[in-house]
Each structure stands twice: as C-alpha cells, then as structure tokens.
Amino acid sequence: MNRAGIGYDVHRFKEGRRLVIGGVEIPHDKGLDGHSDADVLAHAIADALLGAIGEADIGKHFPVNDPRWDGIDSMVILEHVAKMVRRDGAQIVNVDSTIIAQEPKMAPHIAVMKGRIADALHIRPYQIGVKATTNEHMGFVGRGEGIAAMAVVSVLAAGAVRSPKVKLEP
C-alpha cells in the first residue's frame, strides 16, 4: 500500500541562536527560536512521515515540556521517526519539500541538506527533493520574521500500518 503524508513547520527568528535548516548550519545573524535546534525543514519532514504512518505529530513524540529534547539536533528526530516508519514494516519512497525564507539564500546549501536528511532517514539523496522560495516580501516570512517549510512524503507499507487507538467521545 502506498501512503502519503504532509508536514508544515514554522519558527520565528531569534537573536543569539544558530540557524540550522536541513541539518546544515547556515551563516546568518539570527537563528530560529524553538525547544530543539528549530530546524523547520526537518520538522516538516518528520511530521509528514508521522502522518504517512498514522502517528500523532512531532509535538506528541518530542514534547516541548520534556527536558530530554531541549536543544536536540533535529537529525536525531528524523532518525527516530525513520525507525518508527521501519518498525511498521514500511519504507520511505521519497520526500519532497520546500523551504520558504526571504533570507538567507538557501540554494548554496541544498545539496548538503539533502545528504544530511538522506543519512538521517537511511535513504538516498536522489529520493529527496529540497527546494527554496521566498514569500515575495509578503507576510511574516516576507518581512524576515521567520522561516517556514512544507514537506510531502510517500511511504510504501508492506502491510497494514499500525493505527493509534482512538477513544471516541459522544
């Protein structure tokens, strides 16, 4: 069975933090604010993968109120999520993603991002698409207040993907 998932993440800029996107530290005067390293691209991909296997979102698995995840490298999050995918007997077919940032320019870093993400997910870089765009100076991204990312994944499930038990309330 082919399954798809979609993910989205956004973080605002904050002074005094490193800017990490797709597992790559990018030179910039501000980083992104978050409990982890605030890697919006990794978080969007993680959410897409979790959705494809019917799991809860990244916040459920890596809650901000759990000190174990404070400052965590988001490549570790991706490794953990990839294990969850494989635990269910599924395999990642491909990842397609877009970074939305007015600044800094992402293009010079995309090849390295693809390599870091591929390593974390245990797939090949050609299975990963990473694109970047601006927001044409519109909205919070266009004003340079933060960065967003979107991801879509395809997962091939060998059998039935585990579904969480849900208690229905009247």
Overall average pLDDT of the 3-20 stretch: 96
pLDDT at 158: 74
Asked whether residue 162 carries a pLDDT value surpassing 90, the answer given is no
pLDDT recorded at residue 89: 87
pLDDT digits (tens, 9 = 90+) for 30-68: 999 998 999 999 999 999 999 999 999 998 998 888 888
Element (H, E) at 83: helix 74-87
The fraction of the chain above a pLDDT of 90, given in percent, is 82
Residue 7 has, within 13 A of its CA and on its CB side, a CA count of: 33
- Each residue of 86-95: pLDDT tens digit? 997 899 999 9
**pLDDT score at 102:** 95
Q: What pLDDT score was predicted for residue 159?
A: 62
Q: Is the peptide bond before 164 cis (omega within 30 degrees of 0)?
A: no
Percent of the chain with pLDDT over 70: 93
The C-alpha angle with vertex 11 and arms to 8 and 14, in degrees rounded to 5, equals 170
Q: Is the pLDDT of residue 167 over 50?
A: no
The identity of residue 16, as a single letter, is G
Q: What is the pLDDT of residue 118?
A: 98
All structural domains of the chain: 2-157 (3.30.1330.50)
Q: What mean pLDDT value characterizes the chain?
A: 92
pLDDT of 67 reads 84
What's the Rg (C-alpha) of the chain?
Answer: 16
pTM of the predicted structure, to 2 decimals: 0.91
Say whether pLDDT at 5 is over 60.
yes
Residue 170: the pLDDT is: 43
